[in-house]
Structure 1
């Protein structure tokens, strides 16, 4: 279950975040500005944002396996369409549809983990599942950037097409919907009516998305254009940082199991993200070679929070609301994520990379007082 859920999420991440590595080719071959290319790369994120809650509702009503198989198959078809389309508008439409379908994995694969693993092992399991996102980004970085540069955008989009198709087959063979308790055995009321805990977790996650997507979207472009790296070398470094980020998610998930809390480690990670982004801004502004090493640290720290927040939402919402709650969680994140590429692109064009990195750190700092450490229930 864990392997199938992780690979399903990795395929979804490749389809969602892989287009960010098409930005250099979109600028050179289609004549787009950096901000316009960032807008095209954000199309799948917009698709996710608009469909996550609907997929979550379907998970609550019909189960995880059906949603995963259907969504991944539709993702493969949309990416396949993108391989033969030409022009920024048609490509954006295909990527939008791919994102709308890939949203299925965000709620359903997490529900598989929450349903099959007990609380004292759930943080580690969800950390392993959450490593799928940076691993999917890493696969996209090391393959799509080079394929797009050498053979065009259509060739690069075969990567998410194949990944989604393979994941759909694996899920169909392996995944079984986890058992659910009766409504009398657990609380089945609307968790948003109880307190503000879920709302605060959503808010924290939305703010912490900003540094994560600034780093994800513009690392390769920064290395190629500002540091003079080749696309292949830059893509390899991005892939390595994503592997490190994946291991970081596993580590903080295991830590949350050990300390019996999701929110305390989340607060520690948020503080680390602020410091990493400010250090990246400083070293970039001063032109130091150390900036690349700081970038690696920032790439690891800024992705470490997702699994903690995701697990906390699933646990607080319960089995009859977690599909929708996870949909709301990710909708808020992707709402912000959709705005980051074009806005960060404008900041880079008009003020430089150092300012863009500093602004991302400032946004992350706003999340610190929102982390609901005292409102968290003890894990049992």
Structure 2
């Protein structure tokens, strides 16, 4: 059931939904984000080339590409908790299967299935959270929700190399499967939502026909070349090219994810204060392109210079996602949030699926050129976002802001039952 306003037990329960949605996303992000920490172990266990390793690391992203939009459409019709629980349960089962694989083709196919099933949490958890928060808190709420990705990445990057050393890739995959299963249980118990009404779901395909959604998804999607280039390959680069130990390289990846937690919350709060999603998005994109180019220039520089560049570029590469999430939902409107987020995540998924093999292919010849490619993405993305105006919801809020009055737009909220 839907209610208006943020008060009483319903208002307080929004924080429970936010926590549960964040936990569920983090449980899957341990696989989708932290898998590169297993890169050296995967190369050793499966006897992979660098190019094949890039394909394996891109497997989850490839699977997500084909199901993000369908999961978003389902989330607009079915209670979000069951969408999340169903997908994460399937992902957990596939990760258990992954622990038994021995060949390149098999592990790639299984990880594609993991991504296809786990993608349920990306659109559904965001939709559930957005129904409980007003516009004045939306940037911060989605910033917190988006911390799930670096939280899962930090935990995974810290534990996966240790688990692989103790029990091989089998133990690492079983741990990831257990994390997804736990996320499914938490979502089923604590996330509260409900199917949309017929009036709400009468035109769920509209986001696909909206040129603003294409520009937003394409522009922010190009930011992912830097995110994947840094977080997806920092462990392999430092281990193979600079001869840093796997554990030390994974520690840097974990540090990037830990600091990105604060960056995502901070960027969300700033966007709420400015009543702008696109302004902070563009600023982050410009800075990200510059620091990633700095990494490219310093590939053979002393580690004392290179590691801080990796750290700053990595944090920036993960700071913008919540803003893009909020902008997509505000552009589409509340009745089509699931479809909008699914569509936006699909456009991002094209890069998630294609970038790892492409970067690995280039890196096999030149790591410097690979990082140049990574830096080019956000530079082009900023230019594309320059063609967009602020989402209508944000501009209405901005116009309504006067001293001594509330800047909040009301949100449709759900009762805990």
TM-score range, shorter chain: over 0.9
Superposed, which structure 2 residues align to 1:283-362 within 5 Å? 283-287=298-302, 289-351=304-366, 353-362=367-376
Larger radius of gyration: 2
Shifted more, 195-204 versus 43-52: the winner is 195-204
Does the CA-based 8 Å contact 1:213-1:340 persist in structure 2? Answer: yes
State the 1:375 CA deviation: 4.6
Shifted more, 228-237 versus 299-308: the winner is 228-237
Cα deviation 1:186-245 (Å, max 9, x = unaligned):
996754488522111111121111110111111111222223222222222211110101
Does the CA-based 8 Å contact 1:18-1:140 persist in structure 2? Answer: yes
SS in 2 for 1:62: coil
Tell me whether 1:258 sits opposite 2:273 in the alignment: yes
Superposed, which structure 2 residues align to 1:1-380 within 5 Å? 1-177=17-193, 183=199, 191-192=206-207, 195-287=210-302, 289-351=304-366, 353-371=367-385, 372-377=387-392, 378=395, 379=397, 380=409
Q: What number of residue pairs does the alignment pair up?
A: 378
Q: 1:129 to 1:149 in 2, by over 3 A?
A: same
State the 1:60 CA deviation: 0.9
Does the CA-based 8 Å contact 1:141-1:238 persist in structure 2? Answer: yes
State the 1:160 CA deviation: 1.4
State the 1:362 CA deviation: 1.5
Does the CA-based 8 Å contact 2:207-2:343 persist in structure 1? Answer: no
Does the CA-based 8 Å contact 1:187-1:318 persist in structure 2? Answer: no
SS in 2 for 1:251: helix
SS in 2 for 1:366: helix
Match of 2:11 in 1: none
Does the CA-based 8 Å contact 1:124-1:253 persist in structure 2? Answer: yes
What RMSD over aligned residues (CA atoms) do the two structures have, in Å?
2.1
> Could you tell me how far apart the structure 2 residues matched to 1:170 and 1:124 are?
22
Shifted more, 63-72 versus 25-34: the winner is 25-34
TM-score normalized with structure 2 length: 0.86
Does the CA-based 8 Å contact 1:82-1:91 persist in structure 2? Answer: yes
Unaligned runs of 5+ in 2: 1-16, 398-408, 410-417
> Could you tell me how far apart the structure 2 residues matched to 1:169 and 1:136 are?
17
State the 1:150 CA deviation: 4.0
> Could you tell me how far apart the structure 2 residues matched to 1:267 and 1:41 are?
28
TM-score normalized with structure 1 length: 0.94
State the 1:368 CA deviation: 1.3
State the 1:20 CA deviation: 2.1
